[in-house]
Structure 1
Amino acid sequence: MSDAARLVDEAPKDTGYGRSPFERDRARVLHSAAFRRLAAKTQVHTAGTNDFLRTRLTHSLEVAQIAREMGARLGCDPDVVDTAGLAHDLGHPPFGHNGEYALDELAAACGGFEGNAQTLRVLTRLEAKVLTPDGRSVGLNLTRAALDAVSKYPWPRRPGERKFGVYADDRPVFDWLREGAPPGTRRCLEAQVMDWADDVAYSVHDVEDGIHGGYVDLRPLLADPDERRALCADVAATYSGEAPEDLGEVLGELLADPVLAPLAAYDGSHRALAALKATTSVLTGRFVSSVVAATQQRHGPGPHRRYAADLVVPRRIRAQCALLKGIALRYVMRRPGAEGRYARQRDVLAGLVTALLDRAPDVLDPVFAPLWRDAADDAARLRVVIDQVASLTDPAALAWHARLVSPG
């Protein structure tokens, strides 16, 4: 089937630009309401607490830029991987991964919640752009190649696994976008490129934000073997299949790398900021170039796209990336006092879901109220409420809670 096919056929647009279908995909994501809302959604630090720190929007722009350059070097269509990078977090709810875990529990009766499955739902149902002849929304009506490139986890929920990419009632469009893919759960190359770009941006930039915010200090890691072992244990339990002792060897090499040396003396000055940016640039370039070289070594110079090749990530590069993610986890996300804030965020979302279930459809946005009225059963109505809450920004979730749950 055609990579440029759309679920609903559209007449060619005579815009004078001569844009490709994939350029149009990118523009649709960039101009969508869901993309704008990422500006006020948490990445790691709560959105709005510091003008320097990243939000889901700035993170998505960075992922798209990394993915575009990496994909172009491999021979992918740059607009397909760019679109995947821009769109990959559109389904994330308020309060980052903490909000995702909370909504998963609250949505148990309708199949749970997962940010990537929600992204597919936003792109193919909830975002307002294209309707079928009978008035049903198909979201942005992106091409098959673009939707497949956004699918980080191309499978439904499986027992014992938290990550999945499609809810049961979105299975028809998922089956459509996977037409032409090999049997099973193999991801297209563009999705693999986007996923690695996400890991690179997440690992490098969250450490950068942590150092600038004063949460990350590398000196204890340099001085204390027990602290290094504790970090490696965290990483092995959360981000890596490597044994802690093997991660310890990679961590030692990473901490001895001269590129990290300026970070131990960071003081917020212009000179220190320049050194911090130089470090993030070197690490990003290293993680991208190593993967491009390894992929081309295995599959040839290309061009490669769709299912013609798989991304090759060298073991040590993957471990270094996981260790940087672990630094953000240990010293930023698990810093003293964080759990109290996370508990408050979960309470806000639980209170919102309860209040909306009690008072829907009157209190729902005009987009969601008709979906509630058309829902066939309680599970479908719960899904509408979850969609509504997931669409909110961090400030909007707090404001809705204050209005509906604890006025005054």
Structure 2
Amino acid sequence: MNDELYDDADRERLVPEPPKRVVAPTRAPFERDRARVVHAAASRRLAAKTQVVGPQSDDFVRNRLTHSLEVAQIARDLARALGCHPDIAETAALAHDLGHPPFGHNGEAVLDELAADCGGFEGNAQTLRILTRLEAKTFDADGLSVGLNLTRATLDACTKYPWRRPAEGGKFGVYADDLPVFSWMRQGAPVRRQCVEAQVMDLADDVAYSVHDVEDGVVAGSIDLLWLDDAGRRREVWQTVRGWYLPDAGDDVLDAAWRQLRDQRSWPSLSWDGSRRSMAALKNLTSDLIGRFCGAAQAANGPAPVVRFAADLTVPDATLLEIAVLKGVAAHFVMQSGERRAIMAQQRDLVAELVGVLDERPDLMGREFVDDHAEARDDAARRRVVIDQVASLTDASATAWHTRLCS
């Protein structure tokens, strides 16, 4: 570990805490941060939240928790290889999806519309809110929750988009309501720049997302990588890549990236048939792809240590293209399927109706949110509390709440 490369400001917590001697030797601050995220209720809820396909649909498919565990493993190995702190990178990876609501990005889009008058909704901003407010562990001198009270370095690494919502829209990492703790966390940080540990988490997320969603799609029968051998089908997938990820990428550029992937020794030559041999071949492909993408990353730091803002992660454009190709394959064949679109429409209606009912009957929320609602200063703050409650639900509990409250 390279704890000595971090100073007192990096290890500072919003509310000072004495060291705890649970076992010998005393755990380091960043180890304590990791333990707090692992034991958080918000982490357990991820097991019943959609990654791409609903967790109730199949025993094999990934949910938000298994995805986060895989991102954490990739982030830790990548951090160790690059020279940054593996505990910080792993904790950021474990926490990166805590703010996602039920039904994945579909639920996120609905809540963003419904929260338009109180600053919108973004899963990454919600993660910061959970870590610094909603997941209660520590309180300040005024009796207000400061969440898990993580160190500044760890909390910053968990922040994928360290800025407020842009006027033109797009991703962001903090609501106006949470600016005080955000400002404390970003003391001394360059404006809108991720720390290197957050960059490691971000790449690990992209790698896991691109590779594992394709793996899930293959096993579910929604994807056959041999389909891409057909030029016409590739054109359709490239349209999805442009629509979702790379609007300026031409067919020739995406074809070149696909050929690089296809030329890998482990790229399938036969369609998936569910046999153990197929399982082994698919697992070898996912391992090779993860190694390929992570192996291409470098730390641009010169003589400086790979710590916070002393370094940046660099990833070749060719690697980013290959990752986008795989993400586009999953988006095209799984997320844009007709069956999937019908399910997503039902989910959007469910979330909207649930928010409407709780707006009218805030007393039906959990005790902590009832208290927050009673203390809210205006309608916007009260709507934020309702959004917090609905966002905290899992796919199953959101469905159960809707059945109980909206039938």
Q: Smaller-chain TM-score range?
A: over 0.9
Cα deviations by residue, 1:250-288 (Å, 9 ceiling, x for unpaired): 1233234332124x4211111110111000000001111
Report sequence identity in percent: 57
Tell me, yes or no, if structure 1 residue 23 matches structure 2 residue 24: no
| Cα displacement (A) at 1:241 | 5.3
TM-score, normalised relative to structure 2: 0.95
Tell me, yes or no, if structure 1 residue 232 matches structure 2 residue 231: no
Aligned partner of 2:4 in structure 1 is: none
| Cα displacement (A) at 1:234 | 1.5
Aligned partner of 1:319 in structure 2 is: 321
Q: Map 1:119-134 to 2 at 5 A.
A: 119-134=127-142
Matched letter for residue 324 of structure 1: L
Q: Map 1:292-371 to 2 at 5 A.
A: 292=298, 295=299, 298-300=300-302, 303-360=305-362, 362-371=363-372
Which of 214, 217, 221 matches 2:228? Answer: 221
1:75–1:302 CA contact under 8 A, matched in 2: no
Aligned partner of 2:262 in structure 1 is: 255
Aligned partner of 1:386 in structure 2 is: 387
1:94–1:394 CA contact under 8 A, matched in 2: yes
| Cα displacement (A) at 1:300 | 4.4
Which of 280, 285, 296 matches 1:279? Answer: 285
Cα distance in 1, alignment partners of residues 21 and 54 from structure 2 = 43
The alpha-carbon distance between structure 1 residues 51 and 301, as it changes in their structure 2 partners (threshold 3 A), is farther
Cα deviations by residue, 1:51-78 (Å, 9 ceiling, x for unpaired): 1110000000010110011011111111
Tell me, yes or no, if structure 1 residue 265 matches structure 2 residue 271: yes
1:233–1:244 CA contact under 8 A, matched in 2: no
| Cα displacement (A) at 1:133 | 2.3
Which of 240, 243, 251 matches 2:249? Answer: 243
Aligned partner of 2:378 in structure 1 is: 377
Secondary structure of the corresponding residue to residue 259 of structure 1: coil
Aligned partner of 2:144 in structure 1 is: 136
Secondary structure of the corresponding residue to residue 192 of structure 1: helix
Matched letter for residue 66 of structure 2: T
Cα deviations by residue, 1:68-111 (Å, 9 ceiling, x for unpaired): 11011111111100100000000000000000001100111111
Cα distance in 2, alignment partners of residues 281 and 257 from structure 1 = 12
Give the length in aligned residue pairs: 398
Matched letter for residue 169 of structure 2: E
The alpha-carbon distance between structure 1 residues 218 and 301, as it changes in their structure 2 partners (threshold 3 A), is farther
Stretches of structure 2 that go unaligned for 5 or more consecutive residues are 1-7
1:157–1:163 CA contact under 8 A, matched in 2: yes
1:229–1:244 CA contact under 8 A, matched in 2: no
Cα distance in 1, alignment partners of residues 164 and 250 from structure 2 = 31
Aligned CA RMSD, in angstroms, stands at: 1.3
Cα distance in 2, alignment partners of residues 404 and 220 from structure 1 = 45
1:100–1:113 CA contact under 8 A, matched in 2: yes
Cα distance in 1, alignment partners of residues 370 and 390 from structure 2 = 13
Aligned partner of 2:114 in structure 1 is: 106
| Cα displacement (A) at 1:335 | 1.4
| Cα displacement (A) at 1:128 | 1.5
Secondary structure of the corresponding residue to residue 138 of structure 1: coil
Aligned partner of 1:190 in structure 2 is: 197
Stretches of structure 1 that go unaligned for 5 or more consecutive residues are none
